[in-house]
Structure 1
Amino acid sequence: MSRGGKAPVRPCSILAAGGKRGLVKLIHPRNNVAYGEFRASRKALSVLCFNHNQGNFFFTGSYDNKIIMWDIGGVDSSYNFKVVQLLVLEVSSTPLHICLPPTSPGSHLLTASDDGLHCFNTQLGTSSSTKSRSNEMEITFPIYEEEDKEHDYHTIDGLSFLTDDIIASKSHMHCSIYLWSWSRTRSQRPNKESRSVCAVVLAELQWASTNIPYLALNTCPGRAYIACGDDKGRIWTYHITNLPKNSFQIGKPIPPTQVLEWPSPTRKGLDQTEGPSINSVAMDPELRYLVALSDKNMVIVWRREESS
């Protein structure tokens, strides 16, 4: 994003927020100004995502099973801006997560949903360019073969890139996190009928056994770190070292590096708070802090201490 006007154009950071009303608020955090809004959908919004290489490209996912790509342009010194709709991606169910490959954020988009993981072509200005597009292919996982009437593993409720090529993802009801290669998966020829390919899995990470859905994982690529909460207030952490050099075998999950136990805070006159479900986690690029958001309106902040 950039600011202009009479002064020279200079980059600026923009924050976007959206929710039940289908509106996106645009915020200039440095000046603490919510300078505008636009309607992204008539349904509630489920996910927002900026293109990290081109900050004016912005994606919204909503409960009408659509992902829309926008050009929100720049903003001048008077906070004037213009929003243009570029693409509509048709998803089979509500998008839960959006990921753009670090090496090709302008050409592909991965979206996780209750109906699996799907890849879209988002490249603009091509001969096949249309305003509305369906998924290019579905990415499936080995755990799908174990589905039955009581176990449906198609809900992908965690998705994040660990490196330029390695993706961490997890399925609801599967007590493991998959690490898989984007490039090797992408290079496969999709099945003609189902337009699907199986993820090239590099490793499985041991995670909690729970039936609670939508407990999202996150990654800290600069520190090769993965974190994911569970339904008991714990944070499962994994330090993935030398992954490209090692040859991991599928079958026996790798245990976590450390599990951060629920701190059991107390309130005056009340008993200890039981461990809640950790819906999402976030880390700064240097992994100095880890922040967890729970389903009991509590935010837990962890600070990393260097070992002596």
Structure 2
Amino acid sequence: LDRSGCPYSRIPEVLRGPPPPQPPSLRPGGQGAGAGLQGPLGLVVRTRGTRPAEPLPSGHLRCGARAAPPPGLRQLRAPAADSGVAGSAERRRRQYCQRRPRLLAMGPLSPQLLMERGRPKSGRLGRIRSLDLSGLELLSEHLDPKLLSRLKQLQELDLSNNQLEMLPDNLGLSHLRILRCCNNQLGDVTALCQFPQLEELSLEGNPFLTVNDNLKVSFLLPKLRKVNGKDASSTSSQVENLNRELTSRVTAHWEKFMASLSPEEETEKAQADFVRSAVRDVRYGPESLSEFTRWRVRMISEELVASGGTQVHEADIPEKSPKATAIQGPRARPVACKRPDDVPLNRSPYKRVCTSPLAQVEGRPTGSDGSQPTLKLEPLYFLQCHSKNNSPQDLNTQLWACAFEPACEEGHTGATSQSVATCGGEAVCVIDCQTGIVLHKYKVPGEEFFSVAWTALTVVTQAGHKKRWNVLAAAGLRGQVRLLHVRAGFCCGVIRAHKKAIATLCFSPTHETHLFTASYDKRIILWDIGVPNEDYTFQASQLLTLDTTSTPLRLCPVASCPDAYLLAGCEGGCCCWDVRLDQPQKRRVCEVEFIFSEGSQASGQRVDGLAFVNEDVVASKGNGGLGTICLWSWSQTWVSRGSQSTVTVVVLARLQWSPTELAYFSLSTCPDEGIVLCGDEEGSVWIYDVRHILMQQPPLPATPQAPTQILKWPQPRALSQPVTRTMVNTVVANPTFTYLTALTDSNIVAIWERY
């Protein structure tokens, strides 16, 4: 090489001059076979089989006495004795050019690569026992079964940090005992059944896998000992119990189904109908495991049909000594985020402001009027899942907000959610209401969460496949919004939304990526959180800023036109903003302020409860009407507005509530059932079925309407002592009013079930 690094022989002779002197250690010592290299002292050191230098195909240089073949090219035979050097080089060049297209058409896996990354080092694939294929950006189609099936003795395989969406069938690795597939895009685990000897499995960092996939893995791999580094015996015991109960229920369903058939019905059609009806009707276990139970019900049903109903084979699961006998869902590992610095934060004003001593409610109605049947609800669970340092002594952490997860099966008739997210203190929990199990817990030391909200996003993978994500947004004291993919157990992103604490947040009902945040800095901001990128992180953008004259406490997009107007209950009253994105202004002030009685002033009247009962009727609380909840019409109020900036609402009815002067008891509604819910300062839950009230002809009674029912505080025991009194800050029911969740001031989550 010359000093520029170019091969000296390629420089035109007119320009290059005489060849540069070679180092003594590489100076030729002779010609032909058997010649050696002359050392620095003039000695000739012979090398076995040293041949004269031959030109290589373009782009390859010879270093020393031997030349390595081009990457991926086999070592060619030596030229025949009667052929010259030029002929040998030409043949090599032609063979290399002929091979090149075939080499480029191959996938990233080749026998040479497997032998290079395999252990022990061997020239034969059949002798490799451990293989590391991590970090190669492999796609599912790159895993060639014909190539990998040659690894007859492979026991350990690492496929981490690739882009795999599924594992191909028939890989032929029947002796595989350890498999690592961390940080991929796997969405299905059923292909793992081809590894019956698997003992250790790692699937962390696959955002599309859920708790249900953990159970499927345990069912498919009976010899599995560890999953993600943890003992798998507890999950195996849970799967065994679920399988036993599901088998019994499917068998009973078969007997009932066959008894209802008439003799003339076609057998094949009846059997297909049975499988569909079993998947639809057989239910067992918590909703969070419904994907696994439906999967097993289908398998059991098809096996029952294939055997003609004579027998059902239970899963061949080996007996293990379970550590826990109760059916309980796997718990996700808490994710802790540390503060980036030690700058102290100014704590926001205390959330509850007591303006007078606790007021006793006297003459409270004990039931409904004669026209409405009493709802039958029974308390199921009382949980202390937000305790500081998991201490059972903590009965002081205040819990502020909860929201039910969107139904997993969109468009499925009767689909509803029974998983609820709760927040308070430094933790956000996701609870299964049917079993009382805390499915996930997310903690941020030093944070205090005030609000949570769900959205369902459509995520497109790198291979173009669409996946559905339920994302939970949580915010509080630090002014940051954390976007949590709770099923996968990690935080996808953090939005530094405000400089002061965030009081509440909500998603747009029509745009799944639009998020409203309301802060103590007297601003409401509309964000577009977007969808996760290839690294499954969010890049949020700010769309609008809405200025308020007082702290916003509750946000509520107008039900009939959510893309046009936003209602907010604030410390100074109820306000409305135009949030249409086709308008040029990106920073806007309140367009209309609502007042709730003639002659009253809009300012200074706190609205701490706000929700739509249906597309027109709004329920609000705290607007100067002590001890009442107001039902008013959005459409009638808006029509009467004209060009005014202050409008008196058109009241439809008033509901009797606690006469307390304490603030920040949030109300909620169940629109499908026409129900309004609100807690009070004594731990009671006030329930109003307002459908019959709204159907009455005007004029409505001037006196407040009594509640349909009041759920008294059940006084659960904590630390061997009954908790006699508490404050219920928030009450929320799922859309079908199957479960009701109440959050208290004493670190207790109370769950009721309707029966």
Is the TM value for this pair above 0.5?
yes
SS in 1 for 2:718: coil
How far off its partner does 1:240 sit? 1.5
Q: Is the 8 A contact 1:172 1:213 kept in 2?
A: no
> How far 1:250 moved relative to its partner?
5.0
Q: Which of these residues, 534, 551, 566, is aligned with residue 94 of structure 1?
A: 551
1:167 to 613, 618, 636: 618
Choose which of 500, 504, 508 in structure 2 pairs with 1:51: 508
Segment drifting more, 42-51 vs 24-33: 24-33
2:728 aligned residue: 278
**TM-score using structure 1 length:** 0.91
Q: Which deviations, in whole Å up to 9, do the C-alpha atoms of 1:9-54 show, x marking residues without a partner?
A: 3442211011111111111122222111110011111111100111
Give the whole-Å Cα distance in 1 for the aligned partners of 2:500 and 2:482: 15
CA distance in 1 between counterparts of 2:555 and 2:466 reads 30
Q: Which has the larger radius of gyration?
A: 2
Structure 1's unaligned 5+ residue stretches are none
Residue identity opposite 2:570 in structure 1? S
The structural deviation recorded for 1:77 is 4.8
Deviation above 4 Å: which 4+ runs of structure 1? Answer: none
**CA deviation map 1:235-279 (0-9, x unaligned):** 110011244431252521110000101111223443x32321111
The farther-off stretch of 295-304 and 239-248 is 239-248
Q: Verify the 8 A CA contact 2:598 2:648 in the aligned structure 1.
A: no
How far apart are the structure 2 equivalents of 1:7 and 1:275? Answer: 54
- 1:133 matched residue in structure 2: 588
1:196 aligns to 2:196 (yes or no): no
**Aligned to 1:225, which of 664, 667, 675?**
675
Q: Which has the higher contact order (CA 8 A, sep 6+)?
A: 1
| DSSP 3-state at the match of 2:672 | helix
Preserved CA contact (<8 Å) 1:2 1:76: no
Task: Give the one of 175, 183, 208 matched to 2:658.
Answer: 208
Cα distance 1:268–1:66, how it changes in 2: closer, same or farther (>3 A)? closer
Counterpart position of 2:239: none
Provide the C-alpha distance between the structure 1 equivalents of 2:740 and 2:523, rounded to a whole number of angstroms. 31
- For 1:182-240, what per-residue CA distance to the aligned partner results, in whole angstroms no more than 9, with x for missing partners? 11111122564xx1111111111111110110111110001111110110111110011
- Indicate the percent of aligned positions where both proteins have the same amino acid: 36
After superposition, where does 1:25-40 map in structure 2 within 5 Å?
25-40=482-497
- Residue 521 of structure 2, aligned match among 64, 67, 70: 64
Cα distance in 2 for residues equivalent to 1:153 and 1:217: 20
Shift of 1:172: 5.8
Number of the residue aligned with 2:639 = 187
Residues 13/267 of structure 1: CA separation in 2 closer, same or farther (3 Å cut): closer
Match of residue 177, structure 1, among 629, 633, 637: 629
Counterpart position of 1:260: 711
* Displacement after TM superposition at 1:118 (Å): 0.1
Which of these residues, 729, 740, 743, is aligned with residue 290 of structure 1? 740
| Residues 191 and 213 (structure 1), Cα distance of their counterparts in 2 relative to 1, 3 Å cut | farther
Residues 127-159 of structure 1 deviation map (CA, whole Å, 9 limit, x = unaligned): xx3111001100110287499xxxx97100110
Evaluate the alpha carbon distance shift between residue 47 and residue 165 of structure 1 in structure 2; reply closer, same or farther with a 3 A threshold: same
In the superposition, relative to structure 1, how do residues 146 and 198 fare at CA in structure 2: closer, same or farther (>3 Å)? Answer: closer
- Assess if the C-alpha contact under 8 Å between 2:652 and 2:694 holds in 1: no
Task: Say whether 1:142 aligns with 2:597.
Answer: yes
Matches within 5 A, 1:107-126: 107-126=564-583
Structure 2 unaligned blocks of 5 or more: 1-456
**Contact 2:573 2:623 survives alignment (8 Å):** no
Number of residue pairs the alignment of both structures matches = 296
Are 2:458 and 1:8 equivalent residues in the alignment? no
Q: Output the CA distance in 1 between the equivalents of 2:718 and 2:541.
A: 49
Q: Which residue of 2 aligns with 1:19?
A: 476
Tell me, yes or no, if the aligned pair for 1:144 and 1:154 is still in contact at 8 Å: no
Paired with 2:664 and 2:569, the residues of 1 have a C-alpha distance of: 11
Residues in 1 aligned to 2:688 and 2:656: alpha-carbon distance in whole angstroms: 10
- Three-state SS of the structure 2 residue aligned to 1:12 is strand
Partners in 2 of 1:239 and 1:115 — Cα distance? 29
Task: Give distance in 1, aligned partners of 2:519 and 2:719.
Answer: 41
Verify: 1:79 aligned to 2:529, yes or no.
no
Distance (whole Å) between structure 1 residues aligned to residue 605 and residue 733 of structure 2: 27
- The DSSP-based 3-state class of the residue aligned with 2:662 is coil
Q: TM-score, normalised by structure 2?
A: 0.38
State the Cα RMSD in Å: 1.9
Query: Which amino acid is 1:183 matched to?
Result: S
Aligned residue number for residue 341 of structure 2: none
CA distance in 2, matches of 1:32, 1:13: 12
Alpha-carbon distance in structure 1 between the residues aligned to 2:753 and 2:656? 24
Which residue of structure 1 aligns with residue 177 of structure 2?
none
Instruction: Report the secondary structure of 1:222's partner residue.
Output: coil
The one-letter code matched in structure 2 to 1:48 is L
